[in-house]
A = this chain, B = another copy of it.
Amino acid sequence: MYMQRDVFQAIADPTRREIIDLLAGQSLPVKDVASNFEMSRPAVSKHLKILDECGLVVIRKKGRKRLYRSDPRKLQEVAEWTARYRRFWSQKLDALEAALAEEDNQNE
């Protein structure tokens, strides 16, 4: 894992999105996170490391345990990017098709 990650890449993996969902509202040690998935604990550990590098989780040491919890604030970047296109699904009139029809009329 050498690449510089951003939040968009972090949430591209469905397992990591599930982890974020799982750890929203509760702190869990790695072992308990891993028990929710059909993969080895080290695999989950790697996903948690990526989420940590992106600032999407917070960690608190508790004895030999590491308590992970979601910190979804960085998701704001994603939310803001998608929000720019909100009108495309929130408008009653289908904006895209209307625009395309307009282009066709202009024989673009």
Contact = CB atoms under 8 A, between A and B. Distances in A.
Interface of A: 6, 8-9, 11-12, 14, 17, 24-25, 27, 58, 60, 62, 67, 69-73, 75-76, 78-79, 81-86, 88-89, 96, 99-100, 103, 108
A92 B83 CA distance: 20
Given A8-B12, A17-B8, A96-B58, A89 B76 contact: yes
- Nearest 6 A/B pairs, CB to CB: A72-B85, A12-B12, A79-B82, A76-B89, A72-B88, A75-B82
Given A72-B88, A89-B73, A81 B17 contact: yes
B27 A58 contact: no
